[in-house]
């Protein structure tokens, strides 16, 4: 069984565009799937200029407030802006620390072709590891 991708994207659409480039058949916006039913990777941008209180989008916090959604969470891909220095992809770090799941990659803004290839490769390897365990 392959992993689902669940993502959050606002009006800018950066995260959604990136997810679309991956070519995954099963990808969902957090608003489309209130309860996860399969293992998934969360794609999450960072907001609030790195503030601890606002880095994780509210919709993602709400989604992760449901135990089943945490139970199926297997990893994270973070999105951010390197202009924020140490707060780059902070939401991914906060979620990783809180739920003990790995960060599989970090992408700046909407990513490059190389980012797409790197994340596709990491998702493939990670999926293989999960199937073996």
Q: Please tell me what DSSP assigns to residue 102.
A: -
Q: What is the pLDDT of residue 42?
A: 97
Residues 109 and 45: their CA atoms lie apart, in Å, by: 8
Q: What is the pLDDT of residue 25?
A: 81
Low-confidence ranges of the chain (pLDDT < 70): 1, 49-51, 132-133
Q: What is the pLDDT of residue 129?
A: 81
Q: Domain segments of the chain: what residues?
A: 4-132
The H or E element spanning position 121 is: helix 113-132
Cβ neighbors of 125 (< 8 A, separation 6 or more) are none
Q: What is the pLDDT of residue 49?
A: 66
Q: Domain 4-132, CATH 2.102.10.10 — does that match? A: no
């Amino acid at each position: 069984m392959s992993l689902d991708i669940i993502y959050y994207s606002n009006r800018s659409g950066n995260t959604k565009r990136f997810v679309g480039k991956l070519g995954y058949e099963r990808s969902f916006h957090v608003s489309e799937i209130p309860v996860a039913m399969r293992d998934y990777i969360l794609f999450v941008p960072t907001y609030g200029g790195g503030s601890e209180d606002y880095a994780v989008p509210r919709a993602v916090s709400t989604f992760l407030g449901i135990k089943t959604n945490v139970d199926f969470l297997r990893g994270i891909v973070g999105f951010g802006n390197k202009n924020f220095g140490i707060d780059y992809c902070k939401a991914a770090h906060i979620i990783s620390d809180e739920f003990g799941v790995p960060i599989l990659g970090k992408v700046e803004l909407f990513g490059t072709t190389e980012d797409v290839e790197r994340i596709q490769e990491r998702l493939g390897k990670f999926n293989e590891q999960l199937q073996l365990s």
